[in-house]
Amino acid sequence: MKFSIDELAKNNRGSLGNDVDVTVFRLIRFMDLERYLGKAANNIFYECGKTLGRDLNINSIDELVKFCKVYKICRAEIVSEDPLRIRIYECITCSGLPNVGEPLCYFEGGFIAGCLENILNKRVRAKETHCAGLGNEFCEFEIKIL
Ligand SMILES: [Zn+2]
């Protein structure tokens, strides 16, 4: 089942509205998918994020930053242009989580990569180098243009 973003934005939640606590997102995001998918789970999160990023047809980095802010995914900024590095603060997935010795934001990395593929019209890989899961105060993605 696939819905457009306009279809997904419509709801009949008259008294509850559009907002959902970030905890609910995280409960869904951190469901134990590894049990069913094994170690491929993180790659699947990345690929799903990438597909979403491509499907949204975001046409500039400014639009990407704005989208993240409007939907309260995170606050994003470019910290380096060559090589391209994108830092995000207040990440919906990991902000405030403990250091678990590994990065957590595969979905976000894929999302950024998918958006950048449209913007740059090139194949792109985003690797998370900083994350709350690694003990950092922000997430940072190193962008490789393939
Ligand atoms: Zn992160």
Whose structure tokens read 């949204």? 56
Neighbours of 51 (CB within 10 A): 14
Q: Tell me what the pLDDT averaged over the chain comes to.
A: 95
How many Å apart are CA 130 and CA 23, to the nearest integer?
21
CATH of 5-145, one of 3.30.56.10, 3.40.640.10, 1.10.260.40, 3.30.1380.20: 3.30.1380.20
CA 123–ligand 1 middle distance (angstroms): 22
The residue extents of the domains of the chain are 5-145
Q: Count CB-CB contacts under 10 A for residue 91.
A: 24
CB-based contact 146:86 (threshold 8 Å): no
Give residue 12 CA to ligand 1 midpoint distance, Å: 32
Half-sphere exposure at residue 53, Cβ-oriented, CA atoms within 13 angstroms: 32
Amino acid at 21: D
CA of 14 to the centre of ligand 1 (A): 33
CA of 110 to the centre of ligand 1 (A): 12
Ion ligand 1: residue ranges with CB closer than 5 A: 91, 94, 105, 131, 139
Q: Name the band, by pLDDT with cuts 50, 70 and 90, for residue 5.
A: confident
Q: How many CB atoms lie within 10 A of CB 100?
A: 13
Q: How large is the average pLDDT for residues 47-66?
A: 95
Span 64-114, pLDDT tens digits: 999 999 999 999 999 999 999 999 999 999 999 999 999 999 999 999 999
Phi, psi of 80, rounded to the nearest 5 degrees: -155, 140
